[in-house]
């Protein structure tokens, strides 16, 4: 598990950095796809290497015992992966069918901006999945503790990013695309920034479902969300275009989050309905209101200021000394952070 977490975390960090560089260089989506594929190949090769190092007599051969149970799990994960990507990105396809390339361009111009931060929870969830799976079987208390800290970490990371994207959406769009070309993308970015916040919010809950052998809940959730997305988009896209697609994305992601929270309501009350978490939301709302009144402040000044404010609050108030030590320790399961 130590090797697996380290490999997954390292490969995803490399992928994140490579993607950022390629986006800055404005390379084609094909090259980004190739880099993504290569990162997975490298991860697989590294996994095989360390697997043989741990278990020297390891052999790769087909085993048909228990094939029926394995097939069910594979099918569940496969359908989840298919519909999870589909329900989140089908908006673009439907926009192209019902509205044309212009609306697709407006939507994609800002949709790409929220995809980059969403790599962050993927890195952590993929790295922690083996650890949490083991803890669910051996130590439920530590399983909950690790998930709780992961949820706090995701919330801490997304708050300043979401505020920045929402408040300074106009400056961001103008900075990236210039002039009045993509003014219609500004309200879309505002809504998608809220969607991004929601996706960060349910990543830890989704991981807890997966590691507690309830993957079927996630599968049926995203399948339902996909059909909900298609149905709502038929009306919203035809009437509101790219803005309608962003609204439906927010609705469908909220729908999935509510399902996850229903099945993990005991964790929801422990993780969210507590004074520390409520204080963070109140603090974030105050910061949001303050910077909303300062939306004319240049983004290059607002960006470091927001980050500094949140860093101080998170470090001094939000995370306890024990939590900070645990996050940076090998107990968290991400050996990359080991002191």
pLDDT tier for residue 54 given thresholds of 50, 70 and 90: low
* Tokens encoding 43: 């991860």
Smallest Cα–Cα separation from 148: which of 264, 31, 17?
264
In angstroms, rounded to a whole number, what is the distance separating the alpha carbons of residues 186 and 182? Answer: 7
Q: Would the pLDDT of 271 be above 50?
A: yes
The CA-based angle 36-37-38, given to 5 degrees, is: 90
In angstroms, rounded to a whole number, what is the distance separating the alpha carbons of residues 21 and 204? Answer: 28
Specify the range with the lowest mean pLDDT, choosing from 107-111, 156-160, 177-181, 334-338. 334-338
The count of residues in the chain is 339
Residue linked to tokens 């990507």 = 85
- Per-residue model confidence as pLDDT tens digits over 303-313: 999 999 999 99
Residues 6+ apart with CB under 8 A from 108: 92
- How confident is the prediction for the chain on average, in pLDDT? 85
pLDDT of res. 77: 86
pLDDT tier for residue 335 given thresholds of 50, 70 and 90: very low
- Per-residue model confidence as pLDDT tens digits over 220-256: 999 999 999 999 999 999 999 999 999 999 999 999 9
In angstroms, rounded to a whole number, what is the distance separating the alpha carbons of residues 23 and 17? Answer: 10
Number of other CB atoms surrounding residue 326 within 10 Å: 17
What's the pTM? 0.79
In angstroms, rounded to a whole number, what is the distance separating the alpha carbons of residues 201 and 206? Answer: 9
- Per-residue model confidence as pLDDT tens digits over 73-129: 788 888 888 888 888 888 988 999 999 888 988 998 888 888 888 888 888 887 788
In angstroms, rounded to a whole number, what is the distance separating the alpha carbons of residues 242 and 249? Answer: 11
């Amino acid at each position: 598990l130590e090797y697996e977490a380290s490999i997954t975390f390292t490969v995803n960090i490399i992928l994140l950095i490579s993607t950022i560089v390629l986006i800055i260089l404005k390379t084609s989506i094909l090259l980004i796809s190739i880099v993504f594929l290569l990162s997975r190949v490298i991860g697989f090769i590294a996994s095989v290497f360390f697997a043989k190092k741990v278990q020297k007599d390891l052999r790769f051969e087909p085993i048909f015992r228990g094939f029926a149970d394995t097939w069910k799990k594979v099918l569940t994960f496969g359908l989840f992966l298919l519909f999870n990507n589909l329900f989140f990105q089908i908006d673009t396809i439907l926009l192209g069918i019902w509205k044309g390339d212009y609306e697709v361009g407006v939507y994609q111009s800002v949709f790409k901006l929220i995809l980059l931060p969403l790599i962050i929870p993927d890195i952590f969830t993929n790295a922690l999945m083996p650890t949490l799976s083991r803890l669910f079987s051996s130590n439920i208390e530590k399983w909950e503790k690790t998930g709780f800290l992961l949820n706090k970490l995701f919330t801490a990371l997304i708050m300043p990013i979401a505020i920045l994207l929402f408040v300074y959406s106009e400056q961001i769009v103008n900075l990236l695309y210039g002039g009045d070309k993509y003014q219609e993308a500004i309200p879309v970015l505002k809504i998608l920034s809220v969607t991004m916040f929601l996706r960060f919010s349910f990543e830890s809950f989704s991981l807890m479902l997966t590691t507690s052998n309830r993957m079927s809940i996630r599968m049926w959730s995203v399948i339902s969300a996909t059909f909900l997305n298609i149905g709502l988009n038929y009306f919203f896209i035809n009437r509101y275009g790219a803005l309608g697609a962003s609204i439906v994305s927010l609705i469908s992601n909220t729908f999935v989050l509510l399902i996850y929270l229903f099945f993990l309501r005991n964790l929801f009350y422990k993780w969210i309905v507590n004074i520390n978490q409520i204080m963070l939301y109140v603090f974030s709302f105050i910061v949001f209101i303050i910077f909303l009144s300062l939306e004319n402040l240049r983004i290059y000044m607002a960006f470091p200021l927001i980050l500094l404010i949140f860093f101080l609050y998170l470090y001094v108030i939000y995370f306890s000394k024990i939590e900070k030590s645990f996050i940076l320790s090998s107990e968290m399961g991400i050996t990359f952070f080991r002191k």
